[in-house]
């Protein structure tokens, strides 16, 4: 395994200094690498995020100002309300099925689902027909979600495959970015997988021997030497399952995340206390994500229609977020009004989340397209 000798990574973080204080999980990862050899980036992400004792999402609540990052539902209720309108309209367009699965992947604190249900309650029959399922691996977050959704009967599963097979109306906001990616670097004789190993006793990135990667053969002729491609088998598997359910039973899937149409180089990043860090610096104590390849998700959605990729800001504006913001502003003043205006700007402006975050929807081929999409 080849390991770069530079002590500073691409985020400008001093790796020597950052790793002086070893986290509990880092010791476990170092021991595993010492015994069995380097691990893939995907395996490293899985350990960091979902280790049963020390995983980032297992041990607490990372959301909000007191955590490591803030998601759109925590910024303003308007985000969830707009997405709720999409779900309700699709439900009506498909004949208002009297029993369906209303599911969310990676529901955070439950804020988004609460906002969707508040909108849905204004439409006769929607909430009564909905059976709420949350796909959540963290017991700590399940407890927070239960409190947020008090008054509703909520079901939890750890994996998408455990959901009942019925009409499925599904939300996934900032879920796919946290699924583990493998990274491959184009070499003269094939692809070299980026691995996590040890250098002078510290965690370090390195490259495995060159090999042929069947899934990347279509890019082999055009990718320049040194170009990084990320693959996400877990994300594609989940989308295949969502599409299968929608094709068989009806429903829709709404995905909002940061990413692009196609793999966009090395996008692995870590966030801790709202600051970017080296992905190797704080295993289990920093959020690890990678940009979503929406083209790969669309290719995995067999048997259903897929919308065009739409910027979050464009989608929210088409759904009427500005009119909603103006209505809510009428009862606000002072700092509350300033925060409300800032939230609208943050969700929709191209220089904020408006362009960085993209939306994609899956729906039955014989149904109208979801509102807000091309």
Q: What is the average pLDDT score of the chain? A: 91
Selected residue with higher pLDDT from 149 and 137: 149
- The residue among 113, 105, 107 whose CA lies nearest residue 159 is 105
Instruction: Tell me what pLDDT residue 11 has.
Output: 38
Taking the alpha carbons of 74, 75, 81, 84 in that order, is the dihedral positive or negative? Answer: negative
Question: What is the per-residue pLDDT across 344-372, written as a single tens digit (0 to 9) for each?
Answer: 999 999 999 999 999 999 999 999 999 99
Q: What is the mean pLDDT of residues 44-65?
A: 82
pLDDT at 12 over 80: no
- Residue 136 Cα distances to 188, 200, 235, angstroms: 42, 37, 15
Using CA atoms, how far apart are residues 359 and 198, in angstroms rounded to an integer? 38
SS3 labels along 317-372: HHHCHHHHHHHHHCCCCHHHHHHHHHHHHHHHCCCCHHHHEEEEEEECCCCCCCCC
Instruction: Tell me what pLDDT residue 6 has.
Output: 39
Taking the alpha carbons of 205, 184, 234, 141 in that order, is the dihedral positive or negative? Answer: positive
Percent of the chain at pLDDT > 70 equals: 92
CB-based contacts of 34, cutoff 8 Å, min separation 6: 198
pLDDT band at 13 (very low <50, low <70, confident <90, very high): very low
Number of other CB atoms surrounding residue 76 within 10 Å: 22
Using CA atoms, how far apart are residues 94 and 249, in angstroms rounded to an integer? 11
Instruction: Tell me what pLDDT residue 104 has.
Output: 98
Instruction: Tell me what pLDDT residue 67 has.
Output: 53
| Burial group, residue 209, by CB count within 10 angstroms (0-12, 13-18, 19+) | exposed
| Degrees, nearest 5: CA angle 183-185-187 | 155
CB-based contacts of 163, cutoff 8 Å, min separation 6: 101, 103, 133, 135, 157, 245
- The residue among 26, 12, 5 whose CA lies nearest residue 276 is 12
pLDDT band at 69 (very low <50, low <70, confident <90, very high): low
CB-based contacts of 81, cutoff 8 Å, min separation 6: 115, 116, 118, 119, 324
pLDDT at 17 over 50: no
Selected residue with higher pLDDT from 235 and 59: 235
β-strand 168-173 against 182-187: which pairing, if any? Answer: unpaired
DSSP letters, 218-279, are: HHHTTSPTT-EEEE-HHHHHHHHHHHHHHHHH-EEEEEEEEEESS--S---EEEETTEEE-T
pLDDT band at 66 (very low <50, low <70, confident <90, very high): low
Instruction: Tell me what pLDDT residue 63 has.
Output: 59
pLDDT at 284 over 70: yes
pLDDT band at 88 (very low <50, low <70, confident <90, very high): very high
Q: Is 265:293 a contact under the CB 8 Å cutoff?
A: no
The position carrying tokens 């598997």 is 237
Instruction: Tell me what pLDDT residue 65 has.
Output: 52
Selected residue with higher pLDDT from 272 and 133: 133
């Amino acid at each position: 395994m080849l390991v770069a000798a530079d002590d500073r990574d691409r985020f400008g973080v001093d790796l020597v200094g950052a790793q002086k204080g070893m986290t509990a999980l880092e010791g476990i990862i170092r021991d595993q690498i010492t015994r069995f050899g380097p691990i893939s980036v995907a395996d490293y992400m899985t350990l960091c995020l979902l280790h049963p004792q020390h995983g980032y999402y297992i041990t607490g609540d990372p959301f909000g100002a007191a955590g490591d990052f803030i998601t759109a539902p925590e910024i303003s209720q308007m985000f969830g309300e707009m997405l709720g309108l999409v779900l309700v309209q699709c439900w009506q367009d498909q004949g208002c099925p009297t029993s369906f699965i209303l599911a969310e992947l990676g529901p955070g604190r439950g804020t988004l689902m609460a906002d969707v249900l508040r909108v849905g309650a204004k439409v006769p029959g929607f909430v009564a027909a909905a059976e709420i399922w949350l796909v959540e691996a963290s017991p700590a977050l399940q407890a927070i979600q239960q409190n947020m959704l008090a008054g509703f009967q909520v079901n939890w599963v750890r994996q998408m495959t455990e959901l009942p097979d019925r009409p499925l109306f599904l939300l996934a906001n900032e879920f796919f970015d946290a699924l583990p990616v493998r990274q491959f670097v184009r070499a003269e004789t094939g692809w070299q997988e980026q691995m996590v190993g040890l250098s002078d006793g510290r965690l370090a990135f390195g490259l495995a021997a060159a090999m042929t990667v069947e899934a990347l053969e279509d890019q082999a002729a055009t990718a320049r030497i040194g170009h990084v491609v990320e693959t996400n088998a877990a994300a594609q598997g989940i989308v295949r399952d969502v599409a299968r359910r929608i094709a068989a039973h009806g429903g829709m899937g709404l995905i909002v995340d940061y990413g692009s149409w196609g793999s966009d180089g090395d996008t692995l990043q870590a966030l801790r206390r709202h600051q970017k860090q080296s992905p190797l610096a704080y295993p289990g104590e920093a959020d690890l994500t990678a940009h979503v390849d929406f083209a790969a998700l669309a290719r995995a959605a067999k048997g259903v229609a897929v919308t065009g990729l739409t910027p979050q800001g464009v989608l929210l504006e088409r759904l009427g977020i500005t009119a909603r913001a103006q209505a809510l502003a009428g009862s606000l003043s002072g700092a509350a009004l300033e925060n409300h205006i800032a939230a609208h700007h943050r969700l929709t402006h191209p220089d904020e989340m408006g362009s960085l975050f993209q939306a994609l929807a899956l729906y039955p081929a014989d149904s109208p397209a979801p509102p807000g999409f091309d």
